[in-house]
Amino acid sequence: MEAENSGGVVRGEWPVVLVRRLIGDVLRRQRVAQGRTLREVSAAARVSLGYLSEVERGRKEASSELLAAICQALDLPLSEVLREVSDEMSRVEAAAVGALTQLRAPRADRDLAAVG
């Protein structure tokens, strides 16, 4: 049986977040914000356009070397990408914990929260 943590959420029920998808989202967001095309960034990073597209869509897991090359092509520190990924993962987990806590609350508590 799984124990509850202090937040009332059963351990083992954390959302599954694919890090490769979050990395891809951050890379795409940064590339688009710079007004650059996949073709431009893939050429600068020396990676095929198709592979970069797959990384951005979270379909391929980028190696640390490839990630460094993409970050260099975007003139973006790897630490910034990983910080954004971490922040997004925290938001996803917090939202999931909130939803699970709300689902587990006794009905009267949920009704009061909705009124308040």
Domain count, the chain: 1
Residue 84 lies in a domain: yes
Q: Note every long-range contact of 52-57, with CB atoms under 8 Å and residues 24 or more positions apart, other chains counting.
A: 55/20, 55/23, 55/24, 55/27, 56/24, 56/25, 56/27, 56/28, 56/31, 57/24
Mean of the pLDDT values across residues 25-41? 98
Residue 1 is assigned to a structural domain of this protein: no
pLDDT digits (tens, 9 = 90+) for 66-115: 999 999 999 999 999 999 999 999 888 888 776 655 556 565 554 555 55
pLDDT tens-place string over residues 10-27: 445 666 788 999 999 999
Residue 4 lies in a domain: no
Res. 57: pLDDT tops 80: yes
Q: Look up the CATH number of the domain holding residue 103.
A: 1.10.260.40
Q: Which domain holds residue 27?
A: 19-115
